[in-house]
Chain A
Amino acid sequence: MACNSSGCESGCYDREKDNGSKIVEDAVAGGGNQESVCVKCKCNEPMTFGDGGSDDGRFCAECFRNNVFGKFRLAVTSHAMITPSDNVLVAFSGGSSSRVALQFVHELQIKALKNYEASRDRSLPVFGVGVAFVDETAAFPALSTEMVDAIEWIRSTVSSLSPPAKDLHVVPVESVFGSDSLDARDRLVKLLDSVPDDTGKEDLLLHLKMLTLQKIASENGYNRLVVGSCTSRIASHVLSATVKGRGYSLSADIQHVDARWKVPIVLPLRDCVRLEITRLCLLDGLKTVELACRSQCGINDLVSSFVALLQEENPSRECTIVRTAAKLTPFYFNKIPETDDSNVPMATQRRLKRFNIKYDGSMTTEAFCPICNGPLNRSDSSGLDTFEECLESDVLYAACCSSCRFQILPEDGSSLEQFSSYLPDHMISQVKHQKVNSQAYLREKIKDCLLLDDEEVV
């Protein structure tokens, strides 16, 4: 019991102040006080970043870091994003989110290596890590000198993250068009030039970038692709997808796992906001490089500044947006395909069962847009079967989602035909594949009425 008198020299008042009431005060006032302590560990001095964030000055460096890493680790383990037998490719752009993703994956790997060396039977192998950088010089010729510097910097960054050693794959975005680099570059430039809409051009490049990453991953034997999209980025995506009329496919893009691709994509930083990421970079001295590739006038840019404005008004707005979108029903491919790999520890398998999203089997989709790979709503894809013997470009038009039709495909017939001739073969083959698929789907529906079993299926 403190005597509460300033004249008392026993120090009891001060002691109590240190023990309890002071901390409560701090938590209420949000810190900022010189003598304050971290609200979590209650012993270290909290960090003040001075960036205007709401929880600035509440946590010490250690607790802050543990909190962010904890979110990452929870996402990784609860969705079985990385298991011991995996070979993981980290998509690295040089920006802060992917830098943090790379750092965290590296730390997981170090830990796995330590465990491996310490265990007697060495039953759990250490997962492999590779890093991919997509060089977009062909799309932004003005950036060529900066790009050279950036690549140099990335090489040194990645080589500093060893042991364990990590392979770095620097691949130009035009590589999805073929191996002849001059011809490929030419095709990329022509393809982008034929897209009239600025936002459409930006999005098309993003899709091509994803194709490139997929190509790197599958050619080099990776079975996971780690993308460092953070909450803020995903919140912007939610709104821009809404604005572009992509409400149906939206729920596919924002889950922790997206296995519609050949190599499943995982988003371990989905639950971390940008503020945390930049703070962490500051704290750990992680250097980043931002290449000014983005246009300043499109829909995407408008949406990002809107989200930034909302975030300023209410620091939890980004999380609310992502949480809303997370309530939409995901697709069947939004989970890591089940494996009976004995290397996956039992605990992980159990967790996976608990966290793996349940989906309604009746809501599966068959068709994907060949350009953005977004699942198609039935009403979007209905026109597909009417094109039996017609131009490839018409089939392409019919196979695309309404958003890509509007913002990416050129309007008139002749330029559309040209556009489809520039497209990477992968996208074109998907159009054909899809046509067969939808035929097969129709056949499936009427098969009980078909008399001959060996009837030709397209």
Chain B
Amino acid sequence: MSSGEKMEAKSKKAGASRLCFLCNLRRPVLKRPKTLQQICRECFYEVFEEEIHQVIVQNRLFKSGERVAIGASGGKDSTVLAYVLSELNRRHNYGLDLFLLSIDEGITGYRDDSLETVKRNEVQYGLPLQIVSYKDLYGWTMDDIVKMIGLKNNCTFCGVFRRQALDRGATLLKVDKLVTGHNADDIAETVLLNILRGDIARLSRCTSITTGEDGPIPRCKPFKYTYEKEIVMYAYFKKLDYFSTECIYSPNAYRGFAREFIKDLERIRPRAILDIIKSGEDFRIATTTKMPEQGTCERCGYISSQKWCKACVLLEGLNRGLPKMGIGRPRGVNGDHKMEIKKPGSVAKSIESKQCGSLDF
């Protein structure tokens, strides 16, 4: 569109004759968060899906015939991911066998409800669902754990257990890959957090679209460049069935400084989210940056850089009635990465937002 046309479009703003920036045929119904273009619903669906398709193709995320598990929590990100991926798989003949993989942490009033959503999705999208529960794997539900240790550090347990549970579930399903619904906002936030914490090793790998290629099951993030707002918008317009309650054990997880900062940035300059990811990819980090040497846990055989994997250490603590075991900051890389900052005289607020779920970049 030339500048003249732009002017014209502006002058007609009052009337109903504005047209979609992309197709120039239909009436626009939304302002696209990523570009601020006013576009119609159909064009939004198209660009949204096409961008994800391009990310998948350009990064060669999948090979034909692969079995792929979608980490499904019932929340907006994973629901949209399941929907879009099954849609693209059909449309572009990826030749993938898709599965839904859910983790049941055992949180009454939260996970049981969200699992109902995933079960409905199983039917709606025709994807087989596998549920792995903490109770089966570890003998503890999050309800039990919180009863024992209280509301402090409970997210550490949940995060560590979930990471392993996802891998175990994926092994059960015999899949080649695991995809998660981490979006561009999540990754931008992780880049910032790693800078704020001084974690250069994680800074170097937190932007890679595929991780854990040396581990049992590689994970990838097809939504790496997809804005959270657009995911919400997509779910809203497609009327997708998703669950939007916050975890009862971490009700204020979405109030982190870094997240707020990113939202403020997005308001001034939508492109900032992509720019942060680009910076994260471009940082000159020497390839010699020390990475923990990977071995296997002597107890459960899971990958671990220490003698015992983190989950086993935490579990041992729980079973022996010493829940503080493995919490805090031991030497080296096996440490706990949570930072809790208390503002004197006001509500406790953390710099990071998602205390649950997104620990494992």
Interface residues of A, Cβ cutoff 8 Å to B: 199, 238-239, 241-248, 250-251, 297-299, 302, 306, 309-310, 312-314, 317, 320-321, 323-325, 327-329, 360, 363, 377, 402-403, 406, 412
21 contacts between A and B (CB under 8 A): A238-B195, A242-B276, A243-B272, A244-B272, A245-B275, A245-B278, A245-B279, A245-B282, A246-B279, A247-B280, A247-B283, A298-B268, A302-B268, A313-B349, A321-B198, A324-B194, A324-B203, A328-B283, A328-B284, A329-B284, A403-B275
Q: Which residues of B contact A324 (CB under 8 A)?
A: 194-200, 203
Please tell me if the beta carbons of B269 and A199 are within 8 angstroms of each other in the complex: yes
B181-214 interface code vs A (CB 8 A; 1 in, 0 out): 0000000000110111111100100000000000
Chain B residues touching A, majority SS: helix
A31 to chain B, nearest CB (A): 18
Name A247's closest neighbour in chain B (CB-CB): B279
Please tell me if the beta carbons of B269 and A251 are within 8 angstroms of each other in the complex: no
Q: Interface-forming stretch among B42-50, B224-232, B257-265, B322-330?
A: B257-265
- With A242-B191, A309-B257 as given contacts, are A299 and B196 in contact (CB-CB < 8 Å)? no
- With A199-B269, A302-B264 as given contacts, are A243 and B275 in contact (CB-CB < 8 Å)? yes
Name A402's closest neighbour in chain B (CB-CB): B278
Count residues on chain B whose CB falls below 8 Å from chain A CBs. 36
Please tell me if the beta carbons of B200 and A310 are within 8 angstroms of each other in the complex: no
Q: Which residues of B contact A406 (CB under 8 A)?
A: 271
Please tell me if the beta carbons of A250 and B285 are within 8 angstroms of each other in the complex: no
- With A245-B274, A324-B199 as given contacts, are A329 and B286 in contact (CB-CB < 8 Å)? yes
Bound CA–CA A327/B201 (angstroms): 10
Bound CA–CA A360/B3 (angstroms): 47
- With A324-B195, A324-B203 as given contacts, are A250 and B257 in contact (CB-CB < 8 Å)? no
B69 at the interface (CB under 8 A from A): no
Bound CA–CA A338/B265 (angstroms): 42
Please tell me if the beta carbons of B265 and A243 are within 8 angstroms of each other in the complex: yes
Please tell me if the beta carbons of B279 and A321 are within 8 angstroms of each other in the complex: no
- Out of B194, B269, B271, B351, name the residue touching A310 (CB < 8 Å): B351
Q: Which residues of A contact B199 (CB under 8 A)?
A: 324
- With A251-B284, A310-B351, A328-B284 as given contacts, are A317 and B196 in contact (CB-CB < 8 Å)? yes
- Out of B191, B194, B265, B349, name the residue touching A299 (CB < 8 Å): B265
Given contacts A239-B195, A298-B268, A329-B284, 10 further A-B contacts (CB under 8 A): A242-B276, A245-B278, A247-B278, A247-B280, A313-B341, A314-B341, A317-B196, A324-B195, A324-B196, A412-B3
B176 at the interface (CB under 8 A from A): no
Q: Which residues of B contact A314 (CB under 8 A)?
A: 341
Interface residues of B, Cβ cutoff 8 Å to A: 3, 191-192, 194-200, 203, 257, 261, 264-265, 268-269, 271-272, 274-276, 278-286, 289, 341, 343, 349, 351
- Out of A199, A299, A320, A412, name the residue touching B197 (CB < 8 Å): A320
B125 to chain A, nearest CB (A): 36
B283 to chain A, nearest CB (A): 5
Please tell me if the beta carbons of A245 and B269 are within 8 angstroms of each other in the complex: no
Bound CA–CA A324/B278 (angstroms): 17
Interchain residue pairs A-B with the least CB separation, the first 8: A247-B279, A245-B275, A247-B282, A248-B282, A329-B284, A245-B278, A324-B198, A242-B279
Please tell me if the beta carbons of B275 and A239 are within 8 angstroms of each other in the complex: no
Q: Which residues of B contact A251 (CB under 8 A)?
A: 283-284
Q: Which residues of B contact A321 (CB under 8 A)?
A: 195-196, 198
Please tell me if the beta carbons of A320 and B284 are within 8 angstroms of each other in the complex: no
Please tell me if the beta carbons of A302 and B265 are within 8 angstroms of each other in the complex: yes
A98 to chain B, nearest CB (A): 26
Bound CA–CA A360/B272 (angstroms): 30
Name B269's closest neighbour in chain A (CB-CB): A299
Please tell me if the beta carbons of B195 and A243 are within 8 angstroms of each other in the complex: no
